[in-house]
Amino acid sequence: MHYRYGVSQMQGRRPYMEDRFTALADLNGDSKQSFYGIFDGHGGDGAANYCVQAMCQNVIREPSILKEPIEALKNGFLRTDQEYLQIANRKNTEDGTTAVVVLTQGDEIFVAHTGDSRAVLVHRSGNVSVLTSDHKPNRPDERRRIQDLGGSVVFWGVWRVEGILAVSRAIGDRMLKPFVVAEPEVKKFTRTDLDRYVVLASDGVWDTISNDDAAQLVLKYKDPQTAAQRIMEEAYARGSMDNICAMVIDLREEMNECVPRDV
């Protein structure tokens, strides 16, 4: 079974486009498994590009993918980070990326994230369940973790790790290890008839659009492609200064067609 989805992205007011996305069905030949992800690169697009190529494969190659998908997701994130750090060391690059991914196994849905790209679940009622908690350096548990390792959290416009990076978890960022970790937080839920959509987006969306506003847009337009485009357009209209990428996964129906669009 495949959940219909739509995705829309734009460079926006930034000089470079560093947001990336992926959507893959029939994982390991299993029609019940699909994988979706958004990766918001910083300092370059190398890590985001690598996640598009490798993250899904690293997750589904885990022996625990069917029996312990949460473990598989965590291991897949860490393996992707380790592999990219080797590449970054060879190339002497220092970029990184956030990651928010959705793994579906029939009605069982798993959401994993590192960084501040966010996922929310929109219910039929219009209520929203936030599926991720942004990894910001000033989040109390993240601040403690960083400081316990000997790192610092400094305010420079926004709170930053070592005065540099505005997220506390990411893939890559080799110069900020061990403070910036790749280990994801993972949440599981079982789809019910009350659930309508999952919205994934980079912070170029969430900086200007609230969770509730995103929910109202998808419920208004219903079609996931149209909804994703409207979220993207609204974020830009409200003055987003970042790259923008929005994905809407339709939980109401399973079908084979997926229609991505880049802007």
Domain 3-255 bears CATH identifier 3.90.1150.10: no
Residue of 223, 216, 227 lying closest to 255 (CA atoms): 223
Angstrom distances, CA of residue 173 to CA of 50, 84, 141: 13, 10, 20
Coil vs helix vs strand at 114: strand
Q: What is the pLDDT of residues 68-84, one digit of tens each?
A: 999 999 999 999 999 99
Check residue 194 and give left, alpha or beta (phi > 0: left; psi -120 to 50: alpha). Answer: alpha
* pLDDT, mean over the chain: 95
Cα 5 from Cα 229, distance rounded (Å): 12
Total residues belonging to the chain: 263
How much is the average pLDDT of 1-28?
93
The contacts of residue 75 (CB under 8 Å, 6+ apart) are: 58, 59, 62, 64
* Residue the block writes with tokens 């947001």: 19
Confidence band for 263, pLDDT divided at 50, 70 and 90: very low
User: How open is the CA angle 84-90-93, to the nearest 5 degrees?
Assistant: 70
Residue of 106, 111, 109, 99 lying closest to 1 (CA atoms): 106
Tokens (6 digits) for 24: 């893959």
Please report, for the chain, the start and end positions of each structural domain, with discontinuous segments joined by +.
Answer: 3-255
Residue of 152, 118, 122 lying closest to 135 (CA atoms): 118
Predicted TM-score (pTM) of this structure: 0.95
* Residue the block writes with tokens 């959509």: 197
Q: What is the pLDDT of residues 146-190, one digit of tens each?
A: 999 999 999 999 999 999 999 999 999 999 999 999 999 999 999
Beta-bridge mates of residue 45: none
How much is the average pLDDT of 85-91?
98
Cα 113 from Cα 98, distance rounded (Å): 8
How much is the average pLDDT of 118-144?
98
